[in-house]
Structure 1
Amino acid sequence: MASFDDNTIQTAALGRPFQLGMLYDSRKDTLIPGITLWDQVELQRNRSVKKQNNTEFNVTTSDSIEEKSDSLKISGSLKLSLLGGLVDVGGSAKYFQDTKKSHKQARVTLQYKTTTKFETLTMAHLGCGQVSHPNVFEDDTATHVVTAILYGAGAYFVFDRE
């Protein structure tokens, strides 16, 4: 999880179903489904979508937690949550939990990452007085709102030999 300033964070989806406008609790690294500050019509009307096509490949022979977390772009509390089993991961993020079975085993991993589009909420409706459901602030369940999503996919091809 990367911080840009005191209030903005960037975190990997790790197979979790992020959506624009969704609430997020960074204290527990969890999404809060079904509750938003705006209704769906408002969210759809105030979003911007830009193509962001990119593809990357990387080959590694390391099986360390550090190498895997760098590869998945996870750090800090999210890494601790993964190590402690507090966050369920899916998809390519399961690579984080995959380890060699013995010291005699040789391993090479091919990492493939691609992105397709960047979707963000426009700033027009994010200000004070623009919230459709202000009662959400009364609950202390969320610390952040999902305001942007970079769509893409990742795959890890792990080749082992004993």
Structure 2
Amino acid sequence: MFNKIKTMLLMFIALISFNATFALNNQLGNITIDDPWVRSAPPNAPILGAFMEIFNHSDGDIKLLSANTNGYKRLELHKTVPQDGMMKMIKQDFMLISAHSKLTLKPGSWHIMMIKPNEVPREGDSVAIKLVFDNGLSKTIYAKVRKEGVMDHKKMIHHQH
């Protein structure tokens, strides 16, 4: 009798674990990342930018709360906005990805600012970045370091660094 109860209890625990794993994988499937990349920079660059498209396939809004990686002092979520004839980078508490839509992180707009690298990655390298969302999920992406159009940094104002 005891063995039968024990077996049933183990089967119940296994079923609950399977359902929790399936639900977690299903939620992760609601967030997809396309074309993650980091702009290549000179070896002494104090700041780099990471860019990508984040797709939210769910029925509800999702917030990107933070990003982190090894080898940098910190990563911050930023948005570039025009102000007084200049482009100003403003630190954000989160990035909202509306239901059934995408958020494009690109130069001169939304981006992840990568501050004070221990070593600047070279073109062709990949940088692992962990994205943390408000639904308790996180996703590690691998952003390829590459060249992209040149921005005029003389017109940029960097805040909160």
The normalised TM-score by structure 2 is 0.23
The normalised TM-score by structure 1 is 0.23
Q: Highest Rg: 1 or 2?
A: 2
| Structure having greater relative contact order (Cα 8 Å, sep ≥ 6) | 1
